[in-house]
Amino acid sequence: MRLRALLDTDALGLRLLGGQEELDRTVRGVMTTDLRDPSRYLSGGELVLTGLAWRRDAADSEPFVRLLVQAGVAALAAGEAELGDVPDDLVVACARHRLPLFAVNESVAFATITEHVVRQVSGERAGDLAAVVDRHRRMMTSGPAGGGPDVVLDLLGSDLDLRAWVLSPAGRLVAGPKTAGPVLAADVCAKLAAEQLAAVRTGRRGPHRVILGGATYSLFPIRSSGRAAQAVHAARDVRETVLSDWLLAVEADAGDWADERLDLLQGVTQLISVERDRRDAARTVRRRLAQEILELVQTGAAPAEIAARLRVAAPVLLPGLGAAPHWQVVVARVEWNGGEIEGGPVAQSLLEEILVDPRATGPEPSDRIAVAHTGDEAIALVPLPAVSSEHDGSEAGVLADALLASVREPLAAGLDGDGRVTLGVSAAVHSAEGLRGALEEARHARRVAAARPGRVCAAGHQELASHVLLLPFVPDDVRRAFTARLLDPLREYDRRHRAELIPTLEAFLDCDGSWTRCASRLHLHVNTLRYRVGRIEQLTGRDLSRLEDKLDFFLALRMS
């Protein structure tokens, strides 16, 4: 706003004392001070309000005005409540330095002027930013030249002093301001995503307010752009999109925002949704490649035909890679209670978010994966750099536990007790011949994960060579009968005598039958340990020196 506009507003009670020729200066803010040197708190363009408490005599006016001019303020407004008329020495100093000077009537509170200036400046900033956002939207709609969501987030920071970030539903940082402080911490991203997904699942209206670590955030959903897409979204079950929608997290409390600012932020989310749609369109090629390879593998195509498709896929997924990569398969399934929603597309979008290369930088993250879906299952083909000859690659690439380490909290919130996400990960294979086995391996691993308790579970190929592969598939009645036959006599003895035979058995097996190590762990004399083991053998009719009996006890404890 201009100084002239302030003078023309009768309610502010301003009277011009000097600087008529400077009234076209722009006011960018307002500050009230009675410090002798307020320059450290000024950034330029302010209207400075003062009650003149800093002035002890006429000599103080000149240095005070000089400091204001050096700081680049727009004008000075002096209140008449304390001294009556504004002192002539201040009028002279302002005229000498060409600093516009206003007198504020004693009936007008500084708070009234401050509120007016802030409202006008914020409104103009929002209007200017809205125009920039609209221009940026047109640029992004016509192609990637707009620079991605990072640009508009920088505008929010520079023009409205708002720090904002775009997050995936799994808590991945998609975009953030480049010029506004440190990157949002990964644990904060996960918690914000969890809060947003929980709010969406419970039907709460946004923006959603969250307080984390003393900071307040407002969360805005980012959905597909276009009226048609929004209409389709509104008509769909929320569970079809809750695990795929991005969100905009703004470090501010939007609860007391004016409608104009809320509308502006909604415009920002629509702008970012254009980038989301463009990124999804770019994934179409990768999805098609994955679908073609999957169909070849499942229909028993010749390895040479599959290898030819892999050679086509490698440059798309890993551009510039010289050697043919190894491949890994990840299988995911999203199952909702009731089963009326097709889980395949949901699992596909979710895998694409989880498997984005975290090392990628720039506005276009490198999605080094291709994900297809069939029925309720999504299948990701993950290329890996060539593995060194020192090992076969079975331990390389994506690890099941690492996949879910940072996303379990937001995904559990999105499922809201109404569904499950299970993943299985294969070992790395180096040829088309191994791809069929990798797919089956990943599917078996996913079934192991599905047999576990919890809403979000994963299993890797390593577990397929362990007893844990067998235990989940033992029928419940067989499990109960087996464990009861071996362990119930010990439980009953412990209950009656407080003898701790079960903990002793667990420690003895964990120490591989070593008397000294087990006695040391339990803080017992070896003779006491021998007495307890003898009692276990007497009650169960087993011999803990025999491998078969040790194995039976081990499995019984695992299944109990």
Domain assignment present for residue 302? The answer is yes
CA dist list (Å): 289 to 178, 294, 347: 34, 9, 17
- Nearest alpha carbon to residue 172 among 323, 16, 352: 352
Q: β-strand 377-384 against 326-336: which pairing, if any? A: antiparallel
Give the residue, 433 or 249, on which the prediction is more confident: 249
The rounded radius of gyration (Å) of the Cα atoms in the chain is: 34
Domain assignment present for residue 113? The answer is no
Which range among 92-106, 195-209, 463-477, 488-502 shows the weakest confidence by mean pLDDT?
A: 463-477
Residues 449 and 516 in one domain: no
pLDDT at 504 over 70: yes
Q: Distance between CA 106 and CA 503 in Å, rounded?
A: 83
pLDDT at 475 over 80: no
Number of domains in the chain: 4
Residues 202 and 328 in one domain: no
Q: β-strand 46-50 against 29-32: which pairing, if any? A: parallel
- Nearest alpha carbon to residue 276 among 323, 241, 311, 313: 241
The per-residue pLDDT for 538 is 93
Contact between 126 and 147 under an 8 Å Cβ cutoff? The reply is: no
pLDDT band at 389 (very low <50, low <70, confident <90, very high): very low
Q: Distance between CA 423 and CA 56 in Å, rounded?
A: 75
Q: Distance between CA 438 and CA 327 in Å, rounded?
A: 9
Q: Distance between CA 369 and CA 287 in Å, rounded?
A: 9
The per-residue pLDDT for 140 is 47
Q: Distance between CA 332 and CA 64 in Å, rounded?
A: 69
Domain assignment present for residue 116? The answer is no
CA dist list (Å): 443 to 295, 376, 424: 16, 13, 6
Residues 295 and 274 in one domain: no
pTM: 0.58
Strand partners, 220: 248
Count the alpha carbons within 13 Å of 537 in the hemisphere toward its beta carbon: 13
Residues 440 and 510 in one domain: no
Residues 292 and 383 in one domain: yes
Q: CA dihedral defined by 281, 286, 292, 295, rounded to 10 degrees?
A: -100
Q: Distance between CA 447 and CA 472 in Å, rounded?
A: 9
Domain assignment present for residue 318? The answer is yes
Q: Distance between CA 345 and CA 372 in Å, rounded?
A: 9
pLDDT band at 126 (very low <50, low <70, confident <90, very high): low
Q: Distance between CA 492 and CA 487 in Å, rounded?
A: 9
Other CB atoms within 10 A of residue 394 CB: 14
The per-residue pLDDT for 397 is 54
Domain assignment present for residue 126? The answer is no
Structural domain including 201 reads 145-282
Residues 461 and 441 in one domain: yes
Give the residue, 263 or 36, on which the prediction is more confident: 36
CATH at residue 548: 1.10.10.2840
CATH at residue 243: 3.30.450.30
Residues 258 and 304 in one domain: no
Section 207-223 average pLDDT: 88
The per-residue pLDDT for 340 is 64
The helix (H) or strand (E) run that includes residue 374 is strand 370-374
Most confident of 111-115, 385-389, 505-509: 505-509
The per-residue pLDDT for 527 is 92
- Nearest alpha carbon to residue 472 among 492, 451, 493: 451
pLDDT band at 227 (very low <50, low <70, confident <90, very high): very low
Q: Which of 234, 252, 282 is the last residue of a domain?
A: 282
Other CB atoms within 10 A of residue 8 CB: 11
Domain assignment present for residue 139? The answer is no
Residues 374 and 484 in one domain: no
- Give the total residue count for the chain: 560
For residue 367 the two structure tokens come to 């999605």
pLDDT at 466 over 70: no
pLDDT band at 233 (very low <50, low <70, confident <90, very high): very low
Other CB atoms within 10 A of residue 326 CB: 23
Section 478-484 average pLDDT: 83
Q: Torsions phi, psi of 195, nearest 5?
A: -65, -40
CATH at residue 36: 3.40.1390.20
Section 547-555 average pLDDT: 85
- Nearest alpha carbon to residue 83 among 66, 113, 103, 63: 103
Contact between 193 and 171 under an 8 Å Cβ cutoff? The reply is: yes
- Nearest alpha carbon to residue 392 among 357, 349, 427, 423: 427
pLDDT band at 128 (very low <50, low <70, confident <90, very high): low
CATH at residue 431: 3.30.70
Residues 298 and 183 in one domain: no
Residues 297 and 429 in one domain: yes
Q: Which of 282, 307, 329 is the last residue of a domain?
A: 282
Section 12-31 average pLDDT: 88
Other CB atoms within 10 A of residue 109 CB: 13
pLDDT at 89 over 90: yes
Contact between 255 and 344 under an 8 Å Cβ cutoff? The reply is: no
Residues 197 and 303 in one domain: no
Residues 73 and 161 in one domain: no
Domain assignment present for residue 454? The answer is yes
Q: Which of 449, 471, 493 is the last residue of a domain?
A: 471
Domain assignment present for residue 450? The answer is yes
Q: Distance between CA 41 and CA 115 in Å, rounded?
A: 19
Section 79-100 average pLDDT: 89
Give the residue, 187 or 387, on which the prediction is more confident: 187
pLDDT at 142 over 50: no
